[in-house]
């Protein structure tokens, strides 16, 4: 006999199964070999816990917490994992989102991949040299590109320009 409780429980289980299938239906990216690579234990020694969470586990820092959000000097934003130059300060802008934002990366600095986590479809941005997760790119940025590279400040370091 079908009761309301069994119908709801069955529907909930079916919905959970469908969502899990959708989440995992996107093929995992092919294993890549990066110029800079370390074991998980080595990354944990090299990075702070917050950096490890973002760069190696695709975490996200809390908005408005990064000192790099308010960095306005001329210079270059680099990967906190491998020191690759990622963004010029000339492309940084205040997006109002709480994360450092840029309208373009430096040439050959980042890789992009489809991210279907949290029931959304987004484009993740990773460091080209070590594969570290940096943030996401959206199509609501300023000209000339119309893009907003919304980066986790903890995933980057800043190197001021020399005179």
Count of all residues that appear for the chain in the document: 163
Q: How many helices (H) and strands (E) does the chain have?
A: 3, 9
CB of 39 closer than 8 Å to CB of 45 = no
CB of 78 closer than 8 Å to CB of 36 = no
Annotated catalytic residues are 150
Distance of CA 2 to CAs 6, 9, 13, 16, 17, Å? 6, 11, 15, 20, 20
CB of 89 closer than 8 Å to CB of 71 = yes
Cα separation, 71 vs 69, whole angstroms: 6
């Amino acid at each position: 006999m079908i009761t309301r409780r069994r119908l709801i429980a069955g529907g909930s289980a079916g919905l959970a199964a469908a969502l899990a299938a959708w989440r995992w239906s996107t093929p995992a990216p092919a294993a890549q070999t990066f110029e800079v690579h370390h074991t998980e234990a080595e990354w944990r020694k090299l990075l702070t816990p917050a950096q490890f969470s973002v760069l190696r586990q695709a975490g996200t820092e809390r908005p408005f917490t990064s000192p790099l959000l308010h960095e306005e000097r001329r210079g270059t934003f680099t990967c906190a994992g491998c020191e690759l130059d990622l963004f010029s300060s000339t492309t940084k802008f205040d997006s109002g989102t709480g994360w450092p934002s840029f309208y373009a990366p430096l040439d050959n600095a980042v890789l992009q991949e489809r991210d279907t986590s949290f029931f959304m479809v987004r484009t993740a941005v990773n460091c080209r040299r070590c594969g570290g997760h940096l943030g996401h790119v959206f199509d609501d940025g300023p000209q000339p590109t119309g893009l907003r590279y919304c980066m986790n400040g903890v995933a980057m370091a800043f190197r001021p320009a020399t005179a």
